Amino acid sequence: MTSEHHARRTGWRSLRPWRGGQPRSRGRRRLGRAFRLVAALALAGGVYTVFAPGVSSAQPLSQDAQDGQALYAVNCASCHGPNAQGVTNRGPSLIGVGSAAVEFQVTTGRMPATRQEAQIEEKPPQLSDEQARKIGQYIQELGGGPQLPEGNDLAATGEDAIAQGGELFRINCASCHGNAGRGGALSSGKFAPSISGISQRQIYAAMLTGPQNMPVFGDNQLTPDQKREIIAYLENLKHDKDPGGWNIGRVGPVSEGLAIFLVGMVALVFTALWIAGKS
């Protein structure tokens, strides 16, 4: 029996030499495997680079976004990083937050912030509305995210819209902001700010992005039409002069009930004294 037949029967590899010359050594075989692995990884990386979104087909920034990039470098980059990637213990990443969040934070004066604290309060803005929109456009083109509708008038019209907006506000917002939007206390030293005096775009942006302690009301929770109805209700509160009488601060039924109780008790006491004097 030849050695080749014996190898086949016993399961051992053939002892016949490699057809190109001497059999390859173990080191050469390992080197060949490593080379094939590196080539496969390079091929996979090349395919990803070609087809990955936002890598090979990045669009140039618009003129507004370029202006916003210059404003961002001066006012925002020290905390949020030169490429909006965030800085540890200073500011979060802005990739994906969208122009709506930027416009709300900048136009209400919350950004640029002076320091980290439990809640950044509203203050006079350092940048104009136009500058805020340009920074927002830069962040939008950089990483996408929620955007505000065009225009400054975002309130729905009609009495039915105001009534529906009031119902939506009482269900979704009054527990924190109060029935009249005057704000209220929260836990851990935080609070819901007053809504009176802020613009329609800021109200819409707050619902869309959920700044600080506020939950996000995306279009799947509140549709764009419902957001406009809530804004219509809040706009109506600004012009409602309470033709029925004294509103007692519009802070809800507690103050009204307390006032009625005190007035009623005083009236009852004087009535009892008057009856006692007559008898």
* Rounded average pLDDT over 134-140: 97
The whole-model pTM stands at 0.68
> Over the range 251-264, which residues count as b (16 or more CB within 10 Å of their CB) and which as e?
eeeeeeeeeeeeee
Q: Answer yes or no: same fold for 63-143 and 159-240.
A: yes
User: Residue 88: CB partners within 8 Å, gap ≥ 6?
Assistant: none
Q: Which residues contact 112 (CB under 8 A, 6 or more apart)?
A: 75, 76, 79, 126
- What stretches of the chain adopt beta strand conformation (E)? 184-185, 191-192
Q: CA dist 73 to 106, 139, 144, Å?
A: 15, 12, 19
Measured at the CA of 51, the angle between CA 49 and CA 55, to 5 degrees, comes to 55
Cβ within 8 Å of residue 103, ≥6 positions away: 129, 132, 133, 136, 148, 201, 202, 205
Percent of the chain clearing pLDDT 70 (strictly above):
81
Please give the Cα distance from 192 to 122 (Å, whole number): 11
- Percent of the chain scored above 90 by pLDDT? 56
Among 78-92, 127-141, 176-190, 209-223, which stretch is predicted with the lowest mean pLDDT?
A: 176-190
β-bridge partners, 31: none
Residue pLDDT, tens place only, 4-62: 555 455 554 444 544 555 555 777 777 878 888 888 888 887 776 666 544 334 589 99
Which span out of 35-39, 54-58, 189-193, 205-209 was modeled with the highest average pLDDT? 205-209
Domain ranges of the chain: 63-143, 159-240
Q: Tell me: the pLDDT tens digits for 236-273?
A: 988 866 655 666 666 666 677 777 888 889 999 999 99
Longest CA–CA span in the chain (Å) reads 141
Q: 63-143: what fold?
A: Cytochrome Bc1 Complex; Chain D, domain 2 (1.10.760)
In this structure, what DSSP letter does residue 31 have? H
In the CATH scheme, what architecture does the domain 159-240 have? Orthogonal Bundle (1.10)
Question: For 8, what's the count of Cα atoms within 13 Å in the CB-facing half-sphere?
Answer: 5
